Structure 1
Amino acid sequence: MQTRDEGLLFQTDQQLAAAKQRAFKLAAATDVGSPIAVNGKVLDLLIAGDDAFVAESGWQARCMDLRTGKTRRLYKGHRGPVTSLAMLTITEPDSPSWRALFTGSWDKSIRVWDADTAELLFVLEGHSDFVKSLTVIPHCCLLVSTSTDRSIRLWDLTALKSKLAPITTQVVRAHHRPVDCVVWRADGLTITLWSADSMGVIKQWSLRDGSLHYAEDLKGHETSVAQLAVDEEGLWSVSMDKTAVFHPFDGSPKTVVEHDSYVKSVMMLNDGRGRTFLLTGSDDEDIRVWDVSTRSDGRVPLEAVVPGHCGEISALRPWTGSTGVVVVSSSLDGTLRRWTLQDLLVPQRLAISSHKETTTLTVDEERELAELLSDDDS
């Protein structure tokens, strides 16, 4: 029997079965995590106040109200998927403050917008390949960008106070593979930065006088590091090698947290009562909650596995809403989902129905089947 649906041509039985199972999961997850629908795949997420800024595969960024789920502004102009976001609040005496939004893209450019009006201010060029990540260090009024061209660039944002274009102040080419992510930490006047690449190499830097100075390499991964997160005790890195690794600042042994699939996103969450949780998002579409507070002998207990998304989880971000801290997750399934700590610790189970193939055929299907059987007999 031949299919009349061109979308099903050249798909194996296994692929068709997986597509059906995905449809059942989407139906079961309709209300899980208070979802907000986004038009495209979400590649990055930034939260400022009650605004969620979303980097989309569809060549644009979007500002959404986390309380209502409605789109407030669109930032259009890139010529490729938008991969990364960063923001800086510009304040000047005797002038109203405003927010500069930075978007990075596969089109190799960084665009600077007035976040509150969606006015495009500048297009920053310099990278020779995809922009992979953007990070603002407000203490120094610096933007750090990383790229598939294996470089880290520092941009001086001071000129934005006069509505002038930022300029590149340093280009670092220490990595030998695409630089996927950066994170930083301020300890008094000391600022430390870590960069990670697609071969699993993590480099530590000190930021002095507006420039990066190499300190050391941190080992722990066999392949691409997707994201980094830092707290007072150390650095967490998550990787395509299916691990999350904790690198303590005090020099004690590393902690390795094994996963069943690629780990793509990470976030630290404190419950305000002395418990600290590690949240990880994977390409298996689940969020995992680990109790870091009870870590012992290099082991971190798994508290919960949270289903709900129907695609790879690209980012996990905190949002201080009216009911306290809420975790917002973004995914390639085109949704944002909002979770309280209780939602994460006691996750809702998905009622995914087991599908049984029907034996009822339409009139056209019965005719086609009869024709096939007649051909076989002949």
Structure 2
Amino acid sequence: MKLKRFLLRYYPPGIILEYEKGGYLRTKSIDLLDLTPETNPDELVAEIRQSEPLITESRAEQVKHLVLRLQQKQGQQNHHRFCFCKELKAHILPLTNVAFDKSGSRFITGSYDRTCRVWDTASGTELHMLEGHRNVVYAITFNNPYGDKIATGSFDKTCKLWCAETGKCFHTFRGHTAEIVCLAFNPQSTLVATGSMDTTAKLWDVESGEEVATLTGHTAEVLSLCFNTVGNQLVTGSFDHTVAIWDVAAGRRVHTLIGHTGEISNVQFNWDCSLIVTGSMDKTSKLWEAVSGKCVATLVGHKEEVLDVCFDLSGQLIATASADGTGRVFSATTHQCRVTLEGHDGEISKICFSPQGSRVLTASSDKTARLWDVQSGVCLQVLEGHTDEIFSCVFNYEGDTILTGIHRPHTHPSSDNHTLLKCSLEQ
């Protein structure tokens, strides 16, 4: 094995090794999830050298320099305010979802108008309109970190794969017998997973457009799914109150996670693939071991349904959003609630961490989004201006741009009340 070069990953902190083995170029990741500005870089480099033979003594100083750069990035955490930047009349019918590419230079919107649109973030210009679906375009995503492909899942029971650069449709994946409501690319961008109201999930080959596997076993709609960061496992959450872990290569179920007494609202792996968090309409979230499928903790405190749940990028914290109008931040290790986020006057449908992990963003039916300090639970900023409930909010990879989206499902399509998307930039 011959080390060729280092690549730096800021969020979550890590160093990627590019090396040659057997005539092929390969990569491996050194995750530094516990890195803080106070970490002793010399001690950390010594630990890395003990566990990674590619890091020889001659490379130690170079690795130390990379660690210092990561620490410097962490030290740049700030509390600048976000200023309203743009309001986009994105579609003539309600919005369904929004998503950034990794760089944040482009984003996509799905809509009841049967299209997905690609936008330039800086200018607010529409770059492409992806047309071809015969019903609502509900689930949308880029193949991050590459960002050169887009997948769209529709109520027309199909998923389409598009070129992000040209808007050309590569493939139409057919096989589901009901609406597609969730989808995801694997990290290698070789597979797309789709979840459907027909109780199944399917795996599709990006290159050939062929179906790879049908994942059966749920007895109700599959509403959420997520690949782990290695890409060898997929987790699905269903209205049947259960969660399933699947072996991607074999297309078979490894574990069924039983314990929730209500529909599953969201499922997510943490970064190192060791844990899964689930949110449920039973007012709780649960933490599970990915290897054993064992429930290690039930996160309680909410008085109404848990509508969204997520890990921070380091996997140290969990955020939950509820119909009771509050958010909560839990420790993934102690399972204790660290802060309660109180201030919204309506249910919180979406919650996410900034890439740096220092802030939490929430979207609410009270027509506002809020930015919170993770440590204190203090509301740092109320993002106002929308005239209807906000159902979606997302950070870009750098954490300096926020998108918030509303939809008006009760608005007559011919009226002038278009679906609105607001873009806020950090100042």
The structural deviation recorded for 1:178 is: 1.0
CA distance in 2, matches of 1:63, 1:317: 24
CA distance in 2, matches of 1:339, 1:304: 10
The residue correspondences of 1:327-342 to structure 2 (distance < 5 A) are 339=371, 341=373
Q: What's the TM-score once normalised by structure 1's chain length? A: 0.64
The structural deviation recorded for 1:217 is: 0.9
CA contact (8 A) 1:279 1:287 kept: no
CA distance in 2, matches of 1:193, 1:183: 6
In structure 2, what is the equivalent of residue 346 of structure 1?
378
Q: What's the TM-score once normalised by structure 2's chain length? A: 0.58
Q: Give the greater-gyration-radius structure (CA).
A: 1
CA contact (8 A) 1:59 1:79 kept: yes
The structural deviation recorded for 1:46 is: 2.5
Q: Hey, which of these two has a bigger chunk of helix by percent? A: 1
**What SS class does the counterpart of residue 254 from structure 1 fall into?**
strand
* Unmatched runs of 5 consecutive residues or more in structure 1: 1-30, 91-96, 160-165, 353-378
Q: 2:338 aligns with which of 268, 282, 301?
A: 301
CA contact (8 A) 2:371 2:380 kept: no
CA contact (8 A) 2:214 2:251 kept: no
Matched, 1:216 2:255: yes
Distance 1:120 1:339, change over 3 A: farther
The residue correspondences of 1:112-261 to structure 2 (distance < 5 A) are 112-139=161-188, 141-159=190-208, 166-186=209-229, 191-208=232-249, 211-231=250-270, 232=272, 233-249=274-290, 251=294, 253-261=296-304
Distance 1:290 1:330, change over 3 A: closer
CA distance in 2, matches of 1:329, 1:230: 20
* Unmatched runs of 5 consecutive residues or more in structure 2: 1-80, 385-427
Instruction: Report which stretch shifted further, 192-201 or 51-60.
Output: 51-60
| Cα offsets for 1:225-258 (capped at 9, x unmatched) | 1211111341101122222211134757322233
Identical positions, percent: 18
Q: 2:97 aligns with which of 44, 53, 56?
A: 44
CA distance in 2, matches of 1:43, 1:338: 20
CA distance in 2, matches of 1:261, 1:43: 23
CA contact (8 A) 1:181 1:228 kept: yes
The structural deviation recorded for 1:317 is: 6.8
CA distance in 1, matches of 2:362, 2:130: 21
Give the aligned residue type for 2:341: A
The structural deviation recorded for 1:118 is: 2.5
Q: 1:276 aligns with which of 308, 316, 333?
A: 316
CA distance in 2, matches of 1:248, 1:238: 15
Counting matched residue pairs gives 295
Give the aligned residue type for 1:346: V
RMSD: 3.9
In structure 2, what is the equivalent of residue 88 of structure 1?
143
Q: 2:149 aligns with which of 92, 100, 103?
A: 100
Give the aligned residue type for 2:284: T
CA contact (8 A) 2:215 2:253 kept: no
The structural deviation recorded for 1:111 is: 1.8
CA contact (8 A) 1:135 1:144 kept: yes
